[in-house]
Amino acid sequence: MADEAFEPKITAFVCNWCTYAGADLTGTSRLKYQSNIRIIRLPCTGRVDFMLIQKAFARGSDGVIVSGCHPNDCHYTSGNYHARRRWMVFNDLMEFMGLDMRRVTFSWVSAAEGAKWATLVNEVTDHLRELGPYTEYQRLLNAGVA
């Protein structure tokens, strides 16, 4: 049950060239979104290692966003393809381990999509607020699964 005062904690891993810049544009366009999110800047989504996502959950995040350039626009030409391929493998594995995959959002936000970033963050925040705190993860941790 989602409790009234619950505010989800969200960690975002974004690439420097597209989504970080896109989120900058959200700012310069003065578009508002909910303040639950904390952005960690990485060079490219290719750098997103699934240990990072696990670490974020272990530290108490209720949700994680991974966002980078659109498929053909990666600054490093193919980093996001590697990320996507890895993501597909990871997705199955994590599901198998019992991780709640509704809490991980993979998205593309370009440097021109300031509005898309605001919408994405709001949608994810609302969704996580409905899902409630991710206490289940600590149980998985204690059981030595995650």
Q: Are 66 and 106 in contact (CB under 8 A)?
A: yes
Q: Which does 24 bind (CB under 5 to 8 A by kind): another protein, ligand FES, none?
A: another protein
Rounded to the nearest whole angstrom, what is the least distance from the CB of residue 69 to ligand FES in the complex? 4
> C-alpha 75: how far from its chain's center?
19
Q: Specify the pairing of strand 104-108 against strand 63-68.
A: parallel
Instruction: Report the 10 Å Cβ neighbour count for 70.
Output: 12
Binding flag, residue 9, ligand FES (CB under 6 A): no
Does the footprint of ligand FES cover residue 15 (CB under 6 A)? yes
18 binds, among another protein, ligand FES, none (CB under 5 to 8 A by kind): ligand FES
Residue 82 interacting entry, from ligand FES, another protein, none, C-beta within 5 to 8 Å by type: another protein
Query: What is the smallest separation between the CB atom of 33 and another protein, expressed in angstroms?
Result: 6
User: Which residues have CB under 8 Å from 66's CB, separation 6+?
Assistant: 12, 13, 14, 45, 48, 53, 83, 87, 104, 105, 106, 107
Site residues (CB under 6 A) for ligand FES, limited to 49-88: 68-69, 74-76, 79-80
